[in-house]
């Protein structure tokens, strides 16, 4: 991948490649590639979960196309500054293990990074430190929504730290799951209780968050793999691709978990303002409709949204009022009936391209009605993990 990124960077006069960090376990580089010179900033991260590689491959294809053929892609390259962090979790992507017991360690990949929890890291071992084999962190649970916003004053003097300061007060909640006692990290912040808040304990998440702060994006995009569509089970709509917008209280009543006894901050993200919510909903709806009407990939569903405080989207997008967008392509790598890998890459590539074209031609998608998003079929019975 590094070779590939260097080739892209060498080909284009306005592409820059930086190493923004190293992974916790393997000490592998984490890369950031920037292409384009436009006014609208787009930040895109793939493979926070190591066993979800299709987005990385797809975005590499897209940036290769952009720099190989700058004339044909002039609208994107002149309209956008695209910052990509491909494969944010090399530990998980390159994870080796002797799963079949034949005495050889093979590359099997996994969701988490490879990082031990140490007593000095946090008061309790957080519940998102998990995984088969040596435990590691689920990186899409480690983001901290209370960390400093871009441009916020940094502490000075001897107490200065390069790590953004967390705000609010911390609480730990103990609970039982499958006979195990687990600790969830919650935070009270600006009057809200953020349940399952990340601690930014991993170097990977620190690097992605820092890349985000420097990019100051207007649009924030992340890519994951979901469980295979459950064909024939109830009325659920199986789909190759789902999209998900992040939104705030102005669309509270349309949120999938609205009406439960839950507090508003467990149903929508109270830090996402009305205008940003609208842009997020419009963008997701627009791209989903375009892809669905192309007929190439079947129906495109929406993934049930509720805030996930340790995630990239919920923790970072409010900081720059970025329209948030999540893609979920069907099938974990190790799942039975998982669709052909080439098709996962193909649909992801098409989705990325359509998104970049849409944002380049009209960053606010002003012609689109935000409520169209809620007309997309909902992926399954309720909010879904990501």
Please state the closest distance from residue 48 (CB atom) to Zn ion, in A: 6
Shortest-Cβ-distance residue relative to Zn ion: 224
Quote the least distance from Cβ 224 to Zn ion, whole Å: 3
Q: Which is nearer to Zn ion, 5 or 139 (CB)?
A: 139
Helix axes 341-361 and 274-294, enclosed angle (nearest 10): 130
Identity of the residue, 323 or 329, whose beta carbon is nearer to Zn ion in the bound complex: 329
Q: Which of residues 6-65 bind Zn ion (CB under 5 A)?
A: 49, 52
How far is it, in rounded angstroms, from Cα 349 to Cα 327?
11
Rounded to the nearest whole angstrom, what is the least distance from the CB of residue 373 to Zn ion in the complex? 21
> For Zn ion, how many residues bind (rule: CB under 5 A)?
3
Of 223 and 278, the one with the shorter C-beta distance to Zn ion is 223
Alpha-carbon distance 116 to 119, whole Å?
10
In whole angstroms, the minimum distance from the beta carbon of 220 to Zn ion comes to 15
Query: Which of residues 187 and 224 has its CB atom nearest to Zn ion in the complex?
Result: 224
Q: What distances in angstroms separate CA 100 from CA 104, 105, 106, 134, 247, one per listed residue?
A: 8, 9, 9, 17, 44
Nearer to Zn ion (CB atom), residue 189 or residue 309: 309
**Angle CA(254)–CA(46)–CA(371) in degrees, nearest 5?**
20
Binding flag, residue 353, Zn ion (CB under 5 A): no
Q: Is 282 in the site for Zn ion (CB under 5 A)?
A: no
**Nearest residue to 360 via CA among 39, 27, 29:** 39
Residue 259, Ramachandran bin (φ over 0: left; ψ between -120 and 50: alpha; else beta):
left
Q: Which of 34, 129, 223, 224 binds Zn ion (CB under 5 A)?
A: 224
Q: Using the minimum distance from each CB to Zn ion, give the nearer residue, 126 or 164.
A: 126
CA dist list (Å): 211 to 33, 175, 268, 312, 338 = 10, 34, 25, 12, 32
Binding flag, residue 319, Zn ion (CB under 5 A)? no
Q: Summarize as ranges the residues that interact with Zn ion (CB under 5 A).
A: 49, 52, 224
């Amino acid at each position: 991948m590094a070779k590939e990124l260097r080739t892209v960077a060498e080909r284009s006069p306005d592409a820059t490649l930086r190493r923004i960090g190293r992974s916790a376990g393997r000490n592998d580089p984490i890369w950031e590639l920037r292409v384009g010179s436009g006014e609208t900033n787009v930040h895109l991260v793939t493979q926070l979960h190591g066993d979800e590689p299709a987005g990385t491959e797809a975005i590499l294809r897209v940036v290769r196309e952009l720099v190989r053929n700058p004339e044909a892609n002039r609208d994107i390259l002149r309209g956008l500054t695209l910052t990509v962090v491909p494969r944010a979790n090399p530990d998980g992507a390159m994870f080796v293990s002797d799963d079949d017991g034949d005495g050889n360690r093979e590359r099997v990949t996994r969701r988490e990074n490879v990082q031990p929890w140490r007593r000095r890291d946090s008061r309790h071992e957080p519940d998102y430190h998990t995984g088969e084999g040596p435990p590691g962190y689920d990186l899409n649970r480690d983001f901290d929504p209370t960390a400093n916003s871009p441009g916020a004053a940094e502490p000075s003097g001897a107490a200065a730290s390069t790590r953004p300061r967390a705000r609010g007060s911390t609480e730990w909640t103990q609970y039982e799951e499958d006979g195990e006692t687990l600790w969830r990290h919650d935070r009270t912040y600006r009057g809200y209780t953020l349940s399952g808040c990340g601690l930014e304990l991993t170097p990977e998440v620190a690097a992605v968050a820092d890349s985000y702060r420097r990019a100051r994006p207007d649009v924030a995009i992340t890519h994951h793999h979901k469980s295979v569509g459950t064909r024939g089970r109830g009325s659920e709509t199986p789909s190759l691709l789902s999209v998900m917008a992040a939104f705030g209280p102005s669309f509270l009543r349309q949120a999938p978990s609205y009406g439960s006894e839950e507090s508003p901050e467990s149903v929508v993200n109270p830090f996402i303002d009305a205008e940003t919510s609208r842009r997020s909903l419009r963008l997701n709806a627009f791209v989903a409709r375009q892809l669905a009407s192309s007929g190439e990939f079947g129906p495109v569903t929406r993934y049930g949204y509720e805030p996930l405080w340790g995630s990239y989207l919920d923790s970072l997008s409010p900081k720059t009022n970025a329209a948030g967008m999540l893609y979920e392509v069907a099938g974990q790598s190790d799942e039975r009936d998982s669709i052909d890998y080439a098709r996962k890459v193909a649909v992801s590539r098409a989705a990325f391209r359509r998104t970049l074209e849409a944002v380049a031609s009209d960053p606010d998608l002003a012609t689109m009605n935000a409520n169209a998003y809620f007309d997309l079929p909902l992926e399954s019975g309720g909010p879904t993990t990501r």
